[in-house]
Chains A and B, each alone.
Chain A
């Protein structure tokens, strides 16, 4: 008895606002759906991907010792005149190990890579390259992370593509796979004036 009464009471106030009021009732649902779409689209993104401030700028000025010879100093200009990669790595970085075989393959194809040994120990780094192979045409030892800081590096591995004018064209954060190299970086590398060595072995996809 009382239930039926309550029901009739509850439905009564809704009746007059059926047509224009319906829009208002639908508003929260609309807002909710809009939020779902917005948040859902955010899920797909890579949170580690931060727009780099360095793309389009010249490689910062630096003077760092060679990894293998502390007496030998390298400066920015030593590498200009060709397109090359800067790879930030360290023996303390497990994902650098994952990246290593692919770096070796890229280097084998004739792409010059400057290895930036970042916040590492010299002997450990040298041992690592001996053990796993050395993909770097040159290696600089950035013990305090000075060049890393000027490059806006937030960790390792990171890879920068530099064109023949010494301008940074692309920054890759995290492991660089051969697939990503072929799809994204290689076209940019060619655009930047980079060449592969004619007798280089073709890269596996």
Chain B
């Protein structure tokens, strides 16, 4: 039952297509005397996307239960469990952990340039490993420290790359 998502996706892509068509009109329609300008390609694609999203909406409305022939991809997919809509309260989906991890990543990105690579990476790994599985703090700390310092040392000192360093507190 992927219906609600496909409906949403259909509308979303429809709007994206329309947006590209509208925005393309603001771009110059010729370049150096050529009859084709930089607006042609995105505008054309915008139309294609609009048509495709209408077809997706149509298909989604029409087919709800009909079974389709099994393809290679399906064999592959069946091993990863059947897909369903995100709002389903499926017991095997762990959204709390996912959101926590996502938040940790956002925090990592926000702090990366403020407190530097080694420190922010260490904190990120420490938190995210603990989110994945609580416990064994010592091992987690050692792994996080080894990874963040190791990458920083190799990249900055051996390969002479640039990464935000230690915080300067000034």
Q: Report if A and B associate in a common complex.
A: no
- Measuring CB to CB, which residues of chain B are less than 8 angstroms from any residue of chain A? none
- Measuring CB to CB, which residues of chain A are less than 8 angstroms from any residue of chain B? none
